[in-house]
Amino acid sequence: MIDILNDLINRLSDLVFFQVTLLGITIELVVLWLAIPMLFFTLYLRFINLRAMGAGIRVLKGKFSSPDQPGNMSPFSALSTALSGTVGLGNIAGVAIALSTGGPGAAFWMFVIGWMAMALKCAEVTLGLKYREVMPGGDVRGGPMYTIKNGLASKGFIKGGLILGGIYAFLALFGAIPLVQVNQSYVQMAAVTGFTEPLIYGIIMAALVGIVVINGVGWLARVTAAVVPTMGLVYLGGVFAILAMNFEQIPAALALIISDAFTGDAVAGGAIGAFVVGMRRAVYSSESGIGSAVIAHTQVRTNEPASEGLVALLEPFIDTVIICSLGAIAMVVAGTYVGDAEGIEITSAAFATVADWFPYMLAVAVFLFGYSTLCAWGFYGQQAWCYLFGHSKPAIWVYKIIYVISLPIGAVLELGQVIKLIDSAFFLMAIPNIIALYIFAPEIKREIFGYLDRQKLASKDQ
């Protein structure tokens, strides 16, 4: 029976991560599935990722928010919650992987694809706000499962919407299983600090995450609003220290990154290899098109779906364009991406060039990145669970208990096939979500452009 199950998981993983050849370089088809709509919505929305960042920042400051509007979070709290799910361990180890496998030029393409991811994130969040459900008591239910259900129902496909929404929720439930996140968090913490007590680590993480998950969305908003800026400052503080110590090498590093993106010197297949690796890491880092962050953004207090869509523009900008790019430059100037080190070892070696104790600063960032991700995904999984099993208090408590007690298990287990299953479910979430975005693209465009026009008129009247 186990052999049959393992075979099914292997077949599913092979299907989800099926590779195709792009200009002589192999790449997962799911990466192209996510990268193409990034380019499409960048062009379709007329480079909204460049034109509307200022408008997004104004909304983020709360200029257009009112406590009387439906929702449970401020724009800043919603963005912090979404960032806590996407700014994760991949930002630390993923950039190092991109440099070691694609050369410095991969960082350039991560930067470019990260910009395009902003348009896709704006589109999916705008659509999610339009089709969220606001209950009479003020509770908000949102995410791609509700987008698909209510969006297709508006076009007369009620049963189809329910089924496809259910499929997304089912996949999201598996994607939100915390075994992988807590396991990767422990592994990277152990690599940096040498700490080798996985059960203790899992119990500590479970206690801290449980406080947030059990107390609900209000606690999630407050904790992520505090943790996300802190973990960003800790990690970027280390990055800036590396850059400050190697200040004179920054121009040469930038020149190397740009030239390597267009020449044949990249490690994996020349310039084309750098592009493919950079695209892959940017897609994985931003999670644009997966739909998970939509669940957080739909909790915002607003009557204007596009207003939060513009705030969501900032998410890939912070996550991929800023954090990943600065980390990449730091590792290039430190030179630690060249050699036998892999993953977070490259990042840790770069931090160690500043001082012997600096890797411990990285360890703090690793812990906070893992913690914030687990808090956010606990909420995402709960929304998927409630879509499938109802919003009764017993149903919610069952999910919360399962989620929290699984954290120590994830730290101890050798996951093996479980990782394949969870990763497959995670990226399968992109299939119904992207299809819905293409179907409702005209509505998304009307919402965003209409909102921007109204804001222009309002500013003229002031």
Instruction: Say if CB 114 and CB 316 are below 8 A apart.
Output: yes
pLDDT the model gives residue 23 = 65
Q: Name residues whose C-beta falls within 8 Å of residue 365's C-beta, 6 or more positions apart in sequence.
A: 92, 231, 234, 235, 238
Strand, coil or helix: what is 142? coil
197 SS3 class: coil
Angstrom CA distances, 414 to 179, 198, 343, 386, stand at 10, 11, 19, 29
Contacts of 92 (CB under 8 A, 6+ apart): 188, 235, 327, 344, 347, 362, 365, 366, 369
Residue entry with tokens 């100037």: 333
Long-range contacts of 200-204 (CB under 8 A, 24+ apart): 201/411, 202/407, 202/408, 202/409, 202/410, 202/411, 202/412, 203/408
Q: What angle do CA 158, 289, 323 make, to 5 degrees?
A: 150
What pLDDT does 460 receive? 60
> Distance (Å, rounded) from C-alpha 154 to C-alpha 416?
42
Question: Running along the chain, 462 residues long, what does each successive block of 10 average in pLDDT?
Answer: 73 80 73 87 92 85 70 80 73 76 81 88 94 83 92 89 91 79 77 82 90 84 82 86 89 87 59 64 74 88 89 88 87 82 77 84 82 86 91 90 86 70 81 93 94 76 52
Q: Three-state SS across 74-139?
A: CHHHHHHHHHHHHCCCHHHHHHHHHHHHHCCHHHHHHHHHHHHHHHHHHHHHHHHHHCCEECCCCC
- pLDDT value at residue 266: 47
Determine the pLDDT at residue 417: 66
| CA distance to 102, 135, 178, per residue, from 158 (Å) | 46, 20, 32
What was the pLDDT predicted at 55?
84
State how far the Cα of 179 lies from the Cα of 461, in Å rounded to an integer: 53
Q: Write down the pTM of the prediction.
A: 0.87
Cα 297 from Cα 125, distance rounded (Å):
7
Count other Cβ atoms within 10 Å, centred on residue 397: 11
Going by DSSP bridges, is the β-strand pair 140-141/133-134 parallel, antiparallel, or unpaired?
antiparallel
Domains of the chain: 15-461 (1.20.1740)
